[in-house]
């Protein structure tokens, strides 16, 4: 009886085995087909990502007018005595001496952590060197300065008060005299005399 049942089941088992073999064949073939497709998709994704990055960087070049690979001149090794710089957040960037806004002339360039030869020079520190700078100010103009330091780069041009709108803003001074070539003897005002990079002197007084 059991032998007859086994003989009757053999064709079904053989058919089931053929189906399993066929299914495994399709599965192996499917895996082989998917692998290059998946790899190509990954590669394509990387290529597209690279192209997008190139487009974005290129747009930055066009919009900013600068090369992203070029470092900003916050490294003082790129600045020499006689250059003019702007100073922001303690970093110096080279600029034209007649540039709009507040600029400073580089009077000295000394080793890092070294004091300037004059206490009236403001210092801009860097890992490689120290810049000793003097402000470029215009006769008759007003500037707001930090009250706690006599030599500072925290200076910004402001509109001079007219005398009709009350007291001037705090810490605002006016340049009452300016001279090149020699020191000024300022009467009733403070004198700022700088021998380098080109001798220049200012007389400043509280704006009113």
Against a cut of 0.75, is the pTM above it? no
Please determine, for residue 85, whether its predicted confidence score (pLDDT) is greater than 70.
Answer: yes
194 located within any domain: yes
161 located within any domain: yes
83 located within any domain: yes
Sort strands 122-125 and 129-135 into parallel, antiparallel or unpaired.
Answer: antiparallel
188 located within any domain: yes
Number of separate helices (H) and strands (E) present in the chain: 1, 10
The two tokens of residue 130 are: 């120290």
The pLDDT of residue 116 is 92
15 located within any domain: no
- pLDDT over 90 percentage in the chain: 27
Find the mean pLDDT for residues 51-60: 31
68 located within any domain: no
Sheet holding 104-111, edge to edge: 91-95, 84-88, 104-111, 129-135, 122-125
The pLDDT of residue 175 is 95
pLDDT in tens, 177-191: 999 988 898 988 899
Q: Which residue has the higher pLDDT, 90 or 88?
A: 88
Provide the domain count of the chain: 1
pLDDT in tens, 99-138: 888 999 999 999 988 899 998 899 888 778 889 999 999 9
Give the side-chain half-sphere CA count within 13 A for 85: 33
The pLDDT of residue 49 is 37
Please determine, for residue 31, whether its predicted confidence score (pLDDT) is greater than 60.
Answer: no
Task: Report the alpha-carbon angle 150-154-160, nearest 5.
Answer: 90
Q: 């900003």: which residue's tokens?
A: 72
Question: Rounded distance, CA 180 to CA 79, Å?
Answer: 23
Rg (CA), the chain: 38
The two tokens of residue 171 are: 């810490």
Q: 């005595």: which residue's tokens?
A: 81
The pLDDT of residue 22 is 62
Task: Report the alpha-carbon angle 117-119-123, nearest 5.
Answer: 80
Sort strands 155-158 and 142-145 into parallel, antiparallel or unpaired.
Answer: antiparallel
Name the β-bridge partners of 156.
Answer: 144
40 located within any domain: no
Write out the residue range of the structural domain in which residue 187 sits. Answer: 76-206
116 located within any domain: yes
């Amino acid at each position: 009886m059991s032998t007859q049942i086994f003989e009757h089941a053999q064709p079904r088992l053989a058919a089931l085995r053929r189906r399993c073999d066929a299914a495994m064949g399709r599965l192996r073939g499917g895996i082989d087909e998917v692998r290059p497709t998946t790899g190509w998709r990954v590669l394509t994704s990387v290529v597209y990502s690279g192209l997008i990055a190139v487009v974005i960087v290129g747009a930055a070049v066009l919009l900013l007018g600068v090369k992203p690979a070029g470092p900003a001149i916050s490294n003082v090794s790129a600045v020499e005595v006689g250059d003019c710089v702007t100073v922001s957040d303690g970093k110096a960037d080279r600029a034209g001496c007649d540039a709009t806004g507040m600029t400073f002339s580089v009077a000295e360039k000394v080793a890092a952590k070294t004091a300037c030869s004059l206490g009236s020079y403001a210092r801009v520190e860097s890992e490689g060197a120290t810049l000793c700078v003097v402000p470029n100010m215009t006769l008759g103009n007003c500037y707001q300065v930090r009250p706690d330091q006599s030599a500072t780069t925290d200076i910004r041009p402001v509109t001079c008060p007219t005398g009709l709108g009350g007291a001037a803003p705090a810490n605002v001074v006016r340049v009452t005299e300016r001279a090149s070539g020699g020191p000024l003897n300022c009467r009733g005002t403070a004198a700022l005399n700088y021998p380098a990079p080109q001798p220049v002197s200012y007389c400043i007084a509280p704006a009113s």
